Structure 1
């Protein structure tokens, strides 16, 4: 009997596109995957092995028009909203997690500058961002660990500016970014909280960068930084002298949690895609069957994909809810609870899925390579602040009706 290939193809179940991404983003996603395959993936292993910052990949992202995706079109950005931001992060991370993490933190920094900054500050920095300049956030400090929202450093007034002394622990793009938003305290603030944001350019005197060597995400240069007697002119202050915690809750935390969650979902999908590809191609000569020909393998693939899609569905719903919140004039702090759940779930499932991908890949998965790299990259999620333990506590306190933050 001759099998008609057209008829055979019709018998194959086609996964509906609306299940893979929200309607209206088809061209954006197609462009993101083309960029990932052409620019991000070829450099990913080199970036990992050599701890090399993915500058070329980040430049390619900017050249493709993704340097300021959340900024309105009228101000030079892409205007893709938080849904577009989440979809791009999830897509990019299937090819290179280090590049994606740098881009996510860059996007959060750009949005913070846009939201809290003056028109002059926007005009000074946004054009460079569109051409490939990189922004970064310098928040976490050794003294407070993963409680990155609490800082002990300070920057008192000195003449027409501030004298910044701060030690930062994990700064994505440390030593590589063109400018940093540094979170510190203003000691004489009249606001309820003393948090102050300062823009520090990379070439200022008194800045030290230190090497980054980690289990995964080895290309994102998330090393420590020191700011020693760095003078920051008053025109480089974002917002007020203190009182900036409102931007933590309404810009930085929401974008950080959404973007990193998208990374963990994308890493899980990338690892599973690599495992599926290996399982289909690897044929056992003694049985004549591919690895994918065994039922137990197919069941593991199915269980992993269901986990990914559960997190992806949360990602889409949360991102769309955030856009709806902004469009209705509400604050993004109203979306923190679903973001806590999203980050916790995404960071949990990426560990399980990358382990399943390695198991399906057998000995080849244990060797240095794509699956092994995804496993190492994804492990960062659960320990990245706010850690999953902290988030589960906040979720639990909310459920029983007591203040989540004390």
Structure 2
């Protein structure tokens, strides 16, 4: 029995997926253990993605992107994560930042940044703050107007690519805004005076440098304001949340697939000399393999359906905020099953799975999903409120 190709990839994206798998095999996988073991930012892997044409995948082709839409973004993120989750999470956040710049930016800002990211520059999102935790849509920092721009003071937590990205979209408040929503986005270069990044040392995703950052008296020229003074919450709902939830969910699905694929291969190869049987020859092991793969495929099916619907929604000129509910369900399910699947993969692998690297790394990387904001607890509450007709965000 051969698994149908459409079950593993959105039709029309097969060639792109094969190209992504080649980069994964040749570059991402060999460097994944180094990034994990030493906590090294995966610069080589990220440049390889850009060299392969994956630096600005969701941006229209006339700007130097691939114009893959949400479907291509999801297929790529899920594929990359099977090889290196740290690289994938950096790339997902980068893609969300680039898409936000494209959606909210001026034509001059697009021309100034997008050609460079297509060649390998990395963008980041500096949103969450210690004062509000995983409620990254609520920030307390401010950037008042000053001569020719804004004076930014902000403490940020869990900034993917902290100190490594070339530029960041920083979410802050405009005390001068006349809008009901004072949220404002500022583009800040990594080498500007007053920008400081701090080390990241975590259980998993150890190469993505999601450390805290401090912006102290950073002058941001007016031409680096992204969008208006205030009103940035619109882009949170229509760009950042949808792309982050889709991309991160794809990452958890890819981690789960990578873990079970590795466990299956090890079980096929490992032969017990006393019985002459491989680990995979035991029915109980095959049952666990099947349970794990069914969970992965259930999440992947949700991922594909949501991604395709997001593309349809965009084609109709409707905002992606209308897709938030299925995205909440997708992220919650993907972040739940990756924990279950990586546990099963380790059990199938036995003592070998408990050793550093391999399945053990997939388990640690995947555990981040449920606690990454919005946490699964927050999302379940939003889902529950929606089901009984209450406002989901108060």
TM-score by length of 2: 1.00
Pair 1:83-2:71 in alignment: yes
What is the match of residue 48 of structure 1? 36
3-state SS of paired residue (2:350): helix
Pair 1:345-2:298 in alignment: no
In the alignment, the residues of structure 2 paired with residue 200 and residue 404 of structure 1 have an alpha-carbon distance, to the nearest angstrom, of 32
What is the match of residue 183 of structure 2? 195
Of 93, 103, 106, 1:115 maps to 103
Of 140, 148, 158, 2:128 maps to 140
CA deviation vs aligned residue, 1:28-65 (integer Å, no higher than 9, x gap): 11101111000100000000000000000000000000
What is the match of residue 70 of structure 1? 58
CA deviation vs aligned residue, 1:248-279 (integer Å, no higher than 9, x gap): 00000000000000000000000001100110
Bigger-Rg structure (1/2): 1
What is the match of residue 170 of structure 2? 182
In the alignment, the residues of structure 1 paired with residue 270 and residue 32 of structure 2 have an alpha-carbon distance, to the nearest angstrom, of 23
3-state SS of paired residue (1:218): coil
Superposed displacement of residue 119, structure 1: 0.4
Of 334, 356, 378, 1:390 maps to 378
Aligned alpha-carbon RMSD (Å): 0.4
3-state SS of paired residue (1:402): coil
3-state SS of paired residue (1:189): coil
Q: Which blocks of at least 5 consecutive residues in structure 1 are unaligned?
A: 1-12
Pair 1:210-2:198 in alignment: yes
Superposed displacement of residue 188, structure 1: 1.6
Of 309, 312, 317, 2:300 maps to 312
CA deviation vs aligned residue, 1:108-147 (integer Å, no higher than 9, x gap): 0000000000000011101110110000000000000000
Superposed displacement of residue 185, structure 1: 0.2
How many residues matched?
A: 394
In the alignment, the residues of structure 2 paired with residue 170 and residue 393 of structure 1 have an alpha-carbon distance, to the nearest angstrom, of 23
In the alignment, the residues of structure 2 paired with residue 222 and residue 404 of structure 1 have an alpha-carbon distance, to the nearest angstrom, of 28
**Quick check: 2:187–2:225 contact (8 Å CA) kept in 1?**
yes
In the alignment, the residues of structure 2 paired with residue 258 and residue 349 of structure 1 have an alpha-carbon distance, to the nearest angstrom, of 15
**Quick check: 2:125–2:159 contact (8 Å CA) kept in 1?**
yes
In the alignment, the residues of structure 2 paired with residue 53 and residue 75 of structure 1 have an alpha-carbon distance, to the nearest angstrom, of 28
Q: Which blocks of at least 5 consecutive residues in structure 2 are unaligned?
A: none
What is the match of residue 329 of structure 1? 317
Of 268, 276, 282, 1:280 maps to 268
What is the match of residue 354 of structure 1? 342
In the alignment, the residues of structure 1 paired with residue 393 and residue 224 of structure 2 have an alpha-carbon distance, to the nearest angstrom, of 30
In the alignment, the residues of structure 1 paired with residue 171 and residue 21 of structure 2 have an alpha-carbon distance, to the nearest angstrom, of 34
CA deviation vs aligned residue, 1:219-246 (integer Å, no higher than 9, x gap): 0000000000000000000010011100
Pair 1:254-2:237 in alignment: no
TM-score by length of 1: 0.97
**Quick check: 2:63–2:115 contact (8 Å CA) kept in 1?**
no
Pair 1:34-2:22 in alignment: yes
Pair 1:153-2:141 in alignment: yes
